[in-house]
Amino acid sequence: MRAALDLVLARGGRYVGMVPEGCEAGDEIWVLKGCNAPFVLRRSAEREGARRIVGAAYVHGIMNGEAVEEGVEFEPVSIH
């Protein structure tokens, strides 16, 4: 079994990371409260304001709660 990941730059090159194969332009990297890794989410075409999980990501500098330590505020998200 092989996990395919693609290299990405986020926030104007401030962060570098790896995302699951199949990610598309416009997908978003979210830090979900209680999770050790960020997730790639895609806006839902069926439900306004909702998103679906594309997969887990590795982003250097925001793993294992590092983003929370930087004072990032959480906002509610609907995942289906």
| pLDDT surpasses 60 at 13 | yes
Cβ(31)–Cβ(58) under 8 Å? no
Confidence (pTM) = 0.79
Compute how many other C-beta atoms are within 10 angstroms of the C-beta atom of residue 51: 19
Closest CA to 50 of 41, 59, 40: 41
Average confidence score pLDDT of the chain: 83
Domain range holding 56? 5-79
3-state DSSP assignment of residue 66: helix
| pLDDT surpasses 90 at 41 | yes
- Give how many domains the chain has, as a whole number: 1
